[in-house]
A = this chain, B = another copy of it.
Amino acid sequence: MPDTITQSIQDYLKHIYELNEHGGSASTNDIAIRLNIAPASVTGMLQKLASATPPLVIYKKHQGVTLTKNGEKAALEVIRHHRLLETFLVTTLGYSWDEVHREADKLEHVISEDFEARMAEALGHPTRDPHGELIPTADLVMPVDESCPLASLRTDETATVRRVSDDDPALLRHLREIGVVPEVKIVVKSYSEFDGNLTLQVEGQKSNVVLGTAVTSQVFVDK
């Protein structure tokens, strides 16, 4: 590890991890957008992370970065903190799932390993956060996610909601209202090949609901 993994570095690593998840390397621009920082500043940091001892990222000019094993461990540590915190805030302080993100984004950098362990214990060692995202294990292994986008289902298919994208609080509130939350079962009543709309029967809901791809691409299910 470099001498110190600052809060700023933790945020870089976390976002690089998430960008790496969906395909290859994380580009300077993508990182800059997610961190709300000028691209030139990102370049500087990437060079620093790449020449740290040991290196936290693999960086080739103009080709973005990938995490090294060390970088990934550091990223998973932060992600575990974040997701445990979200779970903790929802269950013990009554936060709703669209409110926790900002709070966890700051707390994730300052809690101790003891705090992390106490939360995990108090919550019964959960494997998913309130949005259904997988929580890395205490020894920093990310479980495999086998869910697929709700948008990929077709008429008569049945599935269980596992995870919803937590990017957009408004979308989260909407999903909460229509009952599309993790662990709920759904049945696809019909599919429109024109607009991709899905008509769904949602467990526990009186009437069916029709969702467009803007929504169904953000919800992930296990068949």
Contact = CB atoms under 8 A, between A and B. Distances in A.
B103 A111 contact: yes
A107 interface: yes
Interface in A89-114: 92-95, 99, 102-103, 106-107, 109-112, 114
A107 to B, nearest CB: 6
B103 A119 contact: no
Contact of A118 (B93, B107, B110): B93
Contacts of A114: 99, 103
A119 B94 CA distance: 10
A201 to B, nearest CB: 36
Interface size classification for chain A: 10 to 19
A107 B102 CA distance: 14
A95 B117 CA distance: 12
Contacts of A99: 114
A122 interface: yes
Interface string A72-93: 0000000000000000000011
Given A92-B92, A93-B118, A94-B122, 7 more contacts: A93-B119, A93-B122, A99-B114, A103-B114, A107-B110, A107-B111, A109-B110
